[in-house]
Amino acid sequence: MKTRYTFGGDEHIYVEMDEEMSLDAFFKSLSMSTEVRKANISGVTEICPANASFQVKFNPDVIHPDDMMKKLKELEHLAENAEKRLETRIVEIPVYYQDPWTHETVMRFRERHQDPSGTDLEYAASINGFDSVEAFIEAHHSQPWFVSMVGFVSGLPFLYQLVEKEKQLQVPKYLSPRTDTPKLTVGYGGCFSCIYSVRGAGGYQMFGITPMPIFDPEQKVSYLSDFMVFFKPGDIVKWNPIDRAEYDRIVNEVAAGTYVPKIANVSFDLNEFNEDIPKSNAKLMEALHGA
């Protein structure tokens, strides 16, 4: 991987580990942004990690942009030699696939889609070589996902599936963005799944909806009382398909303040994952089932 450094005006430096998203690029980006934070460089005001890159904001009145660039490049070797192991958590996220709310929105915006004659799920199943929507849904939820970035809108996670590269699901975004997407829609664009944390415009394919809030600026949701955003980079997600009755039950529990997300603390080792992906994923899901 060839790291690319570029200035963003006179207050930002963008560091790209690779043009292609991969767990190796993510780990290097995470390690390097951690080293920048540990270096406590005078003038740095913010460090923003992304899928395979990060951006540093700094005060040019405190440190010259050229000096900031030099210090960042000096830290790269520390990231290359960092341990590729992460203490994190795996979270079960309930998903009501083929729900009525995203379906209504799907049909309302067919003129913006590659295949106006079908649904987003039918299109996704077809271009990925599945015989049915049900088979595609199973491929979507059967293996865990890695949260590589949180952002774009507040609290929105980008999730990268933990499978062999040849098994990666890929679905393009809409030809032109929608002006509406239901809150908590589970979407898909490129090789990333996501959860729309708020209602608004969007271009990802819509597969379902979760009853579990992931962003609450008022912090009234019980499990978001300490921090308004649920996800952070490095989290691991396992989708759990549910029906309408289960969806309604969870919605009521969230409103009553009694819903508790299913979470287990885990260690994720990139080398172990690359050596045996099925075994690594089974270990992760075993930890979740035992929680």
Q: Is 255's pLDDT higher than 70?
A: yes
Share of the chain above pLDDT 90, in %: 81
Separation in Å, CA 199 to CA 24, 218, 237: 33, 16, 22
Going from N- to C-terminal start, the domains of the chain cover: 4-82, 87-289
Task: Give the pTM.
Answer: 0.90
Which span out of 13-27, 51-65, 88-102 was modeled with the highest average pLDDT? Answer: 88-102
d(Cα 22, Cα 204) in Å, to the nearest integer? Answer: 20
**Averaged over 226-251, what is the pLDDT?**
97
What does the longest C-alpha to C-alpha distance in the chain come to?
A: 60
CATH class of 4-82: alpha beta
Separation in Å, CA 104 to CA 80, 108, 110, 187: 47, 6, 10, 15
DSSP classification of residue 30: H
Nearest CA-CA partner of 57 in 17, 22, 13, 107: 13
Residue 2 contacts by C-beta under 8 Å, 6 or more apart in sequence? 18
How many residues comprise the chain?
291
d(Cα 273, Cα 291) in Å, to the nearest integer? Answer: 21
Distance of CA 186 to the CA centre of its chain: 11
d(Cα 153, Cα 28) in Å, to the nearest integer? Answer: 24
In one-letter notation, the amino acid at residue 83 is: E
Residue 48 pairs with which residues in a beta bridge? Answer: 55
pLDDT given at position 30: 85
CATH architecture designation of domain 87-289? Beta Barrel (2.40)
d(Cα 31, Cα 33) in Å, to the nearest integer? Answer: 6
What are the residue ranges of helices labelled H in the chain?
23-39, 65-80, 100-108, 120-127, 133-141, 244-256, 270-275, 277-289
pLDDT given at position 31: 86
DSSP classification of residue 284: H
Helix (H) or strand (E) holding 145: strand 145-150
pLDDT given at position 127: 97
Q: How many CB atoms lie within 10 A of CB 166?
A: 5
Rama region for 81: left / alpha / beta (φ>0; ψ in -120 to 50; rest): alpha
**The two three-digit tokens of residue 20, written as one number:** 């292609």
Residue 23 contacts by C-beta under 8 Å, 6 or more apart in sequence? 146, 160, 162, 270, 273, 274
Q: Is 1's pLDDT higher than 70?
A: no
pLDDT tens per residue, range 165-176: 899 999 999 999
**Averaged over 204-233, what is the pLDDT?**
96
